[in-house]
Structure 1
Amino acid sequence: MSDSDAQAADLVILGGGSGGYACALRAAELGLSVVLIEKDKLGGTCLHRGCIPTKALLHAAEVADHARDGAKIGIRSSLDGVDMAGVNSYKDGVVGRLHKGLQNLVASRGISVVDGAGTLEGPGVVRVGDRRYTGRNVVLATGSYARSLPGLELGERIVSSDGAISLDEVPDRVVVLGGGVIGVEFASVWRSFGAEVTVVEALPRLVPAEDEFCSTQLERAFRRRRIATRTGVRLEKATRTGDTVTVSLESGEEIEADLLLVAVGRGPNTTGHGFAEAGVPTDGGFVTVDERLRTGLDGVYAVGDVTPGLQLAHRGFAHGIFVAEDVAGLDPLPVADDGVPRITYCDPEIASVGLTEAAARERHGEVHTLTYDLAGNGKSQILRTSGAVKLVAAGPPGGGGAVVGVHMVGSRVGELVGEAQLIYNWEALPADVAALVHAHPTQSEALGEAHLALAGKPLHTHG
């Protein structure tokens, strides 16, 4: 076909996941014509194989814990097993309803959705099958995939997170390879469902991207939950024999399990789409972009997991909205990873925004910290959760420096990160937050109490 036969639009978006569809929706809202190309399902990994189904599993796990532990608060309840068919039906129902809603929303905005695998042929040109789509601008939003390790063949007993969300039974014994976000979330689910769980992490601590305080709190909680951990040790090999898999570590230890989850992170989905052939610059597989998410190819942007940095759905949303507004000439502010909230939905949850203490010292030199134990928070006592809030502030104690990091561990603390991101992104001083009124009894009071103490006027703490 000739280029004159190609369908033209203001924006051609390659990938209909979090970054891609957010970009499409905002662009259409701003009056731009949009072609959105997706080879699988709108919503991408987050909706179908990541955020939504895993959090549905985590909620089912929470209900299982409540049923098992009801007697501790005077409720006569018990856990009479986990019906994985029922759990999967609940999970799939949530995904299905959200998928249908997204399809209707995209259709209502007049966005042209193309089913198929797209290939970038050059600036402004994407081919799907034998048809070309031309755009004044092109957005690369092809997402990420579950990484594995050399020598590990995925199958019935060795699975990635893609396979782990659809198990038809609860394994009795599980080894989770990788102690990052994905690994500790699945470890938490399976322990709540009754499995024996061992987490193996090559780095010295769990959730190594978080502040060391969070790692210490989580490891302590996992010990209480009888989730075994092996940190600072690497996998040597995994051997399948019948219905079991033997995990051999470089330390010489062997662990026999019914299932091995490979949760060693996610890689950028940048091969097979013509990026290299079209001249898109990459580094380590990730698309190289400037702060305005422009690639080295004229008129071509990249958003979400294909770019270096945090691999989070809401970062992808923010990237997509930014590019749509940039193309429309609104001159939006760039998205800074430090200001993006991060949540790990294991039990207990981890929520953070801003800099770790170590990163803050590198950037600001002198810093000071304050840790508020949730034992002093009424709602946390009601929820029977333990944990703490750690604040990192720039400058010396008493100097009134801005809060540059907020790190929280405890049940449901993910719901507090909305306020925490405002504190960080608006460069709030401890005294600014201390002056705010936090409703009682809520866990949000823990943030307020921590800032009162940091401002030099502790209420329920000794300072």
Structure 2
Amino acid sequence: MTDFDYDLFVIGGGSGGVRAARVAAATGAKVALAEEYRMGGTCVIRGCVPKKLMVFASEYREMFDDARAYGWDVQDGQFDWPRFRTKLHAELDRLEGVYRRLLDGSGVDIIDSRATLADAHTVKLADSSTKSAKHILVATGGRPQLPDMKNADLGITSNDIFKLEALPKSILIVGGGYIACEFACILHGLGVEVTQFYRGAQILRGFDDEARGLVSEEMQQRGVNLHLGTNVLEMEKREGGVWVKATNGTETTFDHVMFATGRAPNTEGMGLADIGVALGRQGEIVVDDYSQTKVPSVFAIGDVTNRVQLTPVAIREAMAFVETVFHGKPTKVDHHLIPSAIFTQPEMGTVGLSEEAARDIEPVDIYCTSFKPMQQAFAGRSDRVLMKLVVSKETRRVLGCHIVSPHAGEMIQLAGIAVKMGATKEDFDRTVAVHPTISEELVTMRDPVRSG
């Protein structure tokens, strides 16, 4: 029997890699984890966590007006970016320390180095030393991509937002996905003049049309200067910032241009193809239902596989990997009916099929309501929310639930349980409403607004 340095070598210290390393080590396996940058990965260092903290910061702007409407004698405050950024980075440092302590406490060897694959059982580190392992797990995640156009390097990505010395007075955000829309809302809330270009007919492609339409309307009503069917033609560095010529004929100079036009798996220069690991068209690692590559000893989880790019999914994949490899219980990850939230203002929560996708599969009834929520209406705002259920005509199962509302992310987590369990519309109807809440509308919609 061949002796290896490790039973498992994990490449990548994000949420998936760290979870896999810790849980595998708990089985008694000898485990190492290599990370070339900072422990915590995209989610902790440059994604979900700092983004959500920025969402919280940006939401206070409207609260001053609301507070006055509710009788509070308050004055508008002034947002202090350097003060917030200092505290933000201190929090990220704290979280990175937590991740390191968790690994250390689990008995995982932490290697602060870039790691590549030399062969099916050998990892090469940046100092050219090598480590052998019975199993190798690639969990290197993904990164934002700049578009293939002249002077694209004048733009920044979401990774760079957290490092800005000062907030810009104006920014152009290019893209229509959730990252573009979230940062458009965040920066607008922090007082930046935000313009957003998206080449498509409507933002948030792939989500329910009615829900994304309302998010688009609400973003524009709040002051995001959204241009649909529009893209960048030319960019140049000029006095005062970055000059942009757009496909709609406009020419404007912005302090910054941020591209949120796609992400790429971190597989370049890792030696994967050289040892026989299959890569997809975008460079993603091709795996089977058990996260195993074409090379039996090499597995991959998380964003690098380009399956479902969500942190909790990477963690689920990590747990299933350990069950399969170290407990001998082949375990697939269920990628069906995953709830998700988009932290725009207002938020959007979604689980299951959109109305459009469901109609392509079977006849459905649509239950939907849109209204002004009490809290914002009393304050004199014209915000609207949306509650929507997509229901199978035949089985009466709720195939999709879509919420556009403050705290939609919190609501969809609980609605997701019901949808995952196979709840019917009648199960929703049998549930007594919690009054007065926005979410009570999910259980009080009696008649379909349309069928198809």
SS of the equivalent of 1:337 reads coil
User: 1 CA distance for matches of 2:418 and 2:246?
Assistant: 43
Task: Tell me the residue number matched to 1:461.
Answer: none
Task: Tell me the residue number matched to 2:322.
Answer: 324
Is the Cα–Cα contact under 8 Å of residues 173 and 257 in structure 2 kept in the other structure?
A: yes
Q: How far did 1:380 drift?
A: 7.2
User: 2 CA distance for matches of 1:379 and 1:332?
Assistant: 49
SS of the equivalent of 1:52 reads helix
Q: Would you say 1:391 and 2:389 are equivalent positions?
A: yes
User: 1 CA distance for matches of 2:150 and 2:165?
Assistant: 22
Q: How far did 1:36 drift?
A: 1.2
Q: Would you say 1:430 and 2:428 are equivalent positions?
A: no
- Of 234, 238, 241, the match for 2:238: 241
- Of 272, 275, 278, the match for 1:275: 272
Q: Would you say 1:258 and 2:262 are equivalent positions?
A: no
Q: How far did 1:392 drift?
A: 1.2
Go from structure 1 to structure 2 and tell me whether the alpha carbon gap of 1:379 and 1:252 turns closer, same or farther (over 3 Å shift): closer
Q: Would you say 1:407 and 2:402 are equivalent positions?
A: yes
User: 1 CA distance for matches of 2:251 and 2:33?
Assistant: 48
Is the Cα–Cα contact under 8 Å of residues 26 and 325 in structure 1 kept in the other structure?
A: no
> Quick one: which amino acid aligns to residue 195 of structure 1?
V
- Of 227, 230, 237, the match for 1:230: 227
Structure 1 segment 62-211 matched on structure 2, within 5 A = 62-128=59-125, 129-151=127-149, 153=151, 158-211=155-208
Go from structure 1 to structure 2 and tell me whether the alpha carbon gap of 1:345 and 1:273 turns closer, same or farther (over 3 Å shift): same
Structure 1 segment 34-49 matched on structure 2, within 5 A = 34-49=31-46
| Number of equivalences | 444
Is the Cα–Cα contact under 8 Å of residues 174 and 231 in structure 2 kept in the other structure?
A: no
User: 2 CA distance for matches of 1:304 and 1:233?
Assistant: 32
Is the Cα–Cα contact under 8 Å of residues 388 and 442 in structure 2 kept in the other structure?
A: no
- Segments of 5+ residues of structure 1 without an aligned counterpart are 459-463
- Of 356, 361, 368, the match for 1:358: 356
Q: How far did 1:152 drift?
A: 5.1
| TM-score of the superposed pair, with normalisation by structure 2 | 0.91
> Quick one: which amino acid aligns to residue 291 of structure 1?
D
User: 1 CA distance for matches of 2:163 and 2:401?
Assistant: 34
Task: Tell me the residue number matched to 2:52.
Answer: 55
Q: Would you say 1:216 and 2:213 are equivalent positions?
A: yes
For residues 371-424 of structure 1, what are the alpha-carbon distances to aligned partners after superposition, in whole Å with 9 as ceiling and x for unaligned?
13254x657767975211211122x2xx44211111111111100121122122
Is the Cα–Cα contact under 8 Å of residues 197 and 228 in structure 1 kept in the other structure?
A: yes
- Of 412, 431, 434, the match for 1:417: 412
User: 2 CA distance for matches of 1:189 and 1:425?
Assistant: 31
User: 2 CA distance for matches of 1:115 and 1:212?
Assistant: 45
Q: How far did 1:441 drift?
A: 3.8
| TM-score of the superposed pair, with normalisation by structure 1 | 0.89
SS of the equivalent of 2:444 reads helix
Go from structure 1 to structure 2 and tell me whether the alpha carbon gap of 1:298 and 1:340 turns closer, same or farther (over 3 Å shift): same
SS of the equivalent of 2:95 reads helix
Is the Cα–Cα contact under 8 Å of residues 391 and 398 in structure 2 kept in the other structure?
A: yes
Go from structure 1 to structure 2 and tell me whether the alpha carbon gap of 1:305 and 1:368 turns closer, same or farther (over 3 Å shift): same
SS of the equivalent of 1:409 reads strand
SS of the equivalent of 2:159 reads helix
Task: Tell me the residue number matched to 2:290.
Answer: 292
- Of 327, 332, 335, the match for 2:333: 335
Q: How far did 1:333 drift?
A: 4.8
Is the Cα–Cα contact under 8 Å of residues 69 and 77 in structure 1 kept in the other structure?
A: no
Q: How far did 1:33 drift?
A: 2.8
Go from structure 1 to structure 2 and tell me whether the alpha carbon gap of 1:433 and 1:336 turns closer, same or farther (over 3 Å shift): same
SS of the equivalent of 1:210 reads coil
SS of the equivalent of 1:287 reads coil
Q: How far did 1:435 drift?
A: 2.7
> Quick one: which amino acid aligns to residue 403 of structure 1?
V
SS of the equivalent of 2:289 reads coil
Is the Cα–Cα contact under 8 Å of residues 58 and 189 in structure 1 kept in the other structure?
A: yes
Go from structure 1 to structure 2 and tell me whether the alpha carbon gap of 1:321 and 1:233 turns closer, same or farther (over 3 Å shift): same
Q: How far did 1:290 drift?
A: 1.6
> Quick one: which amino acid aligns to residue 91 of structure 2?
V
Go from structure 1 to structure 2 and tell me whether the alpha carbon gap of 1:291 and 1:351 turns closer, same or farther (over 3 Å shift): same
> Quick one: which amino acid aligns to residue 270 of structure 1?
T
User: 2 CA distance for matches of 1:127 and 1:319?
Assistant: 25
User: 2 CA distance for matches of 1:379 and 1:135?
Assistant: 57
Give me the identity figure in percent.
Answer: 27
User: 1 CA distance for matches of 2:327 and 2:436?
Assistant: 45
For residues 199-249 of structure 1, what are the alpha-carbon distances to aligned partners after superposition, in whole Å with 9 as ceiling and x for unaligned?
101111111121111221111101210211111222212122022212212
Is the Cα–Cα contact under 8 Å of residues 118 and 273 in structure 1 kept in the other structure?
A: yes
Q: CA RMSD in A?
A: 2.3
Go from structure 1 to structure 2 and tell me whether the alpha carbon gap of 1:115 and 1:198 turns closer, same or farther (over 3 Å shift): same
Go from structure 1 to structure 2 and tell me whether the alpha carbon gap of 1:144 and 1:382 turns closer, same or farther (over 3 Å shift): farther
Q: How far did 1:92 drift?
A: 1.5
User: 1 CA distance for matches of 2:390 and 2:206?
Assistant: 16
> Quick one: which amino acid aligns to residue 335 of structure 2?
D
User: 1 CA distance for matches of 2:40 and 2:309?
Assistant: 15
User: 2 CA distance for matches of 1:426 and 1:333?
Assistant: 20
Q: Report the more deviating stretch, 239-248 or 60-69.
A: 60-69
User: 1 CA distance for matches of 2:293 and 2:16?
Assistant: 16
User: 2 CA distance for matches of 1:173 and 1:242?
Assistant: 14
